[in-house]
Amino acid sequence: MQWDIVIGLEIHVQLATKTKIFSGSSTAFGAEPNTQASAVDLAMPGTLPVPNEQAFRYAVMFGLAVNAEIGRRSVFDRKNYFYPDLPKGYQTTQLDHPIIGPGFVDIDLADGSSKRVRIHHAHLEEDAGKSLHEDFHGMTGIDLNRAGTPLIEVVTEPDMNSAEEAVAFARKLHSLVTSLGICDGDMSQGSLRFDVNISLKPKGSEELGTRTETKNLNSFRFMEQAIAHEVERQMDILEDGGRVIQETRLYNGERNESRSMRSKEEANDYRYFPCPDLLPVVIDDAFIQSARDLLPELPDERKARFREQYGLNNYDARLLSEDASMAAFFEETASHGKDAKLAANWVLGEFSARLNAEDKTVTQAPITGAQLGQLVARIADNTVSSSGAKKVFEALWKGDGDNADAIIEARGLKQVSDTGALEQMVDEVLAGMPDQVAQYQRETDPKKQKKMLGGFMGPLMKASKGQGNPKLFNEILLKKLNN
Amino acid sequence: MSISREDIEKVAVLARIRVDEAQISALESDLGNILNLVDQLSAADTSNVEPLAHPLDAVQRLRADEVTETNQREAFQAIAPATEDGLYLVPRVIE
């Protein structure tokens, strides 16, 4: 049987505020356990929450970026459940009157098409603390530093129909929140958490199947694998005539397997009710305008500008504009590099490959855009060959020298483009290879001739200590041999 | 409106309150009375009334995003039943 895959996402975006959503405790990462958990965060009796204005500003900025309606009057509710990392016994969240109403995001797909994914709503809520299950004499350790960190939970419509679409949406969302500067986007630290709702239905059917929710996807790669895994699992069940159970599943990326976390059928009864500790929050036009004034250039606008300003194709422009720090790095490279297309090739090629190999982000790169740009400029003006440039890049990356010109000079990588000197080298090399020259001149098949030409390049590069401009060598060779 | 034994048991589980067999009959009538009161309220025509999010007719004030809290861990942990390495210890949570 053929199946349609239906995917909706819920995304928790940790907001990059300095303090928590309802208290003045710091949210700085990496503090000693419980040193950033105040009386409010610990739910001590007699405390009252006071909402953080910046969390609302960030939420509104997000709403504007996803073309959404802004909730002029939003209300906090209590979602009641017991867990040791939730000291209050409820999570303060928004149910019926969220800060962000319906919106949409357009995603680019590999085949060049684009697709609109609708946002159902996004609401503000607080994060829970962390449970450490290592053995503390048979007990569990609780760190409440994260308790009360502001989150927006973004809920999409079930508009995605493949892992590719879901991952494209996730990347776009990552790109949006990091460009907005409202989230650091570090998935491995849980700053951005994706939960995937997946169901299958017979191809063409209108009726949605039973869905499962898969959690714990801390990279895009795991997300893609987890979706493939869950689709296959559901397909096996359905094709064996079974029934998918509505449940939450925890994905283990290392092992590519998932297990049931809890069954939603045994009624998760959260007994929501409006939080009596908090009044409705009213957002006025002035507040929305102030948030709008803070909006930076967004990835879609940036992509269009990259195509226009640098003459990049859609693919390169998209890859370079998605991530704000990558985009900034490229622009710095291009501004020093004279040739924007060449700068794009180096940023997307050598530079990105190196980041991936070392599992680094752009901001952790040991070289600056200006350094790479200077190198690109030297490739563009023929000072260095592309193979020489790779050596320079390597040296810059390792910190053996801090600018391309000095490295080129110190290592003698400067390409010889003086035609007089090159002609002399060609004459000398050809004089030493009379048989090959004669063979070349007898040959009538241009393809074979071209191949034989390569046989002269090796000795020429050797004669020039690797510094001869290969393009010029080629031209001179052809001229001499065809005489 | 009446409330069933099963509902009482379920609510007790959700609220993490232990209820003995003997208390259930009393709760049946007490909670039933409360629900009757809610039924009376429900009889009022509220079709033209905005749902009330809060009894105070005011809007929430917001706070500037500045750190105002200091580390009080020692004071808080002094009254915790068990701590170690700065963590609060709780009975083992098994997922």
Contact list in B for residue A51 (CB cut-off 8 A) is: 60, 62-63
Same domain, A279 and A335: no
Same domain, A150 and A41: yes
pLDDT of residue A312: 95
Report chain A's mean pLDDT, rounded to a whole number: 91
Residue B82 belongs to a domain: no
Least confident of A56-60, A126-130, A437-441, B31-35: A437-441
For residues A40-60, average pLDDT: 97
For residues A125-129, average pLDDT: 97
* pLDDT of residue A262 exceeding 70: no
Nearest CA in chain B to A260: B95
Same domain, A154 and A236: yes
Contact list in B for residue A144 (CB cut-off 8 A) is: 88
With CB atoms and an 8 Å threshold, state whether B53 touches A80: no
Residue ending a domain, among A291, A314, A345, is A291
For residues A105-129, average pLDDT: 95
For residues A394-421, average pLDDT: 85
CB contact at 8 A, A110 and A70: no
Closest partner residue to B69 (CB to CB) among A24, A33, A53 is A24
pLDDT of residue A117: 98
With CB atoms and an 8 Å threshold, state whether A281 touches B65: no
Same domain, A282 and A157: yes
Residue ending a domain, among A291, A313, A328, is A291
With CB atoms and an 8 Å threshold, state whether A140 touches B68: no
Least confident of A264-273, A417-426, B49-58: A264-273
Least confident of A290-299, A346-355, A416-425: A416-425
Angle between helices A163-180 and A53-65 (to 10 degrees): 130
Distance from CA of A263 to the nearest CA of B (A): 12
Q: Which of A73, A80, A130, A136 to mutate to test the interface with B (most CBs of B within 10 A)?
A: A136
pLDDT of residue A265: 46
Rounded Cα gap, residues A26 and A28, in angstroms: 6
Q: Which of B76, B88, B89 to mutate to test the interface with A (most CBs of A within 10 A)?
A: B88
pLDDT of residue A85: 93
pLDDT in tens, A143-173: 999 999 999 999 999 999 999 999 999 999 9
The range of the structural domain enclosing residue B15 comes to 5-42
C-alpha closest to that of A385 among A411, A364, A362: A411
Least confident of A236-245, A357-366, A453-462: A453-462
pLDDT category of residue A329 using cuts at 50, 70 and 90: very high
Contact list in A for residue B57 (CB cut-off 8 A) is: none
With CB atoms and an 8 Å threshold, state whether B69 touches A138: no
With CB atoms and an 8 Å threshold, state whether A282 touches B60: yes
Same domain, A191 and A126: yes
Residue ending a domain, among A242, A270, A291, is A291
Same domain, A95 and A180: yes
With CB atoms and an 8 Å threshold, state whether A75 touches B53: yes
Residue B30 belongs to a domain: yes
The range of the structural domain enclosing residue A68 comes to 3-291
* pLDDT of residue B95 exceeding 60: no
Residue B71 belongs to a domain: no
For residues B1-10, average pLDDT: 87
* pLDDT of residue B93 exceeding 80: no
Same domain, A240 and A178: yes
For residues A96-109, average pLDDT: 95
Count of CB contacts below 8 A, A vs B? 127
Residue B37 belongs to a domain: yes
Nearest CA in chain A to B57: A279
Same domain, A225 and A316: no
With CB atoms and an 8 Å threshold, state whether B87 touches A278: no
Residue B36 belongs to a domain: yes
Nearest CA in chain B to A89: B15
> Domain tally for chain A?
3
Least confident of A43-47, A189-193, A413-417, B83-87: A413-417
Same domain, A61 and A156: yes
For residues A444-451, average pLDDT: 83
Residue B22 belongs to a domain: yes
Helix/strand/coil (H, E, C) string of chain A?
CCEEEEEEEEEEEECCCCECCCCCCECCCCCCCCCCCCCCCCCCCCCCCCCEHHHHHHHHHHHHHCCCCECCEECCEEEECCCCCCCCCEEEECCCCCCECCEEEEEECCCCCEEEEEEEEEEEEECCCEEEEEEECCEEEEECCCCCCEEEEEEECCCECCHHHHHHHHHHHHHHHHHHCCCCCCHHHCCEEEEEEEEEEECCCCCCCCCEEEEEECCHHHHHHHHHHHHHHHHHHHHCCCCCCCEEEEEECCCCEEEEEEECCCCCCCCCEECCCCCCEECCHHHHHHHHHCCCCCHHHHHHHHHHHHCCCHHHHHHHHCCHHHHHHHHHHHHHHCCHHHHHHHHHHHHHHHHHHCCCCHHHCCCCHHHHHHHHHHHHCCCCCHHHHHHHHHHHHHCCCCCHHHHHHHCCCCCECCHHHHHHHHHHHHHCCHHHHHHHHHCCCHHHHHHHHHHHHHHHHHHCCCCECHHHHHHHHHHHHCC
* Three-point CA angle A346, A352, A356, nearest 5°: 155
Angle between helices A446-463 and A434-442 (to 10 degrees): 160
Same domain, A345 and A276: no
* pLDDT of residue A266 exceeding 60: no
> Domain tally for chain B?
1
* Residue A145 C-beta-side C-alpha neighbours within 13 Å: 19
Report which residue type is found at A13.
Answer: V
Residue B24 belongs to a domain: yes
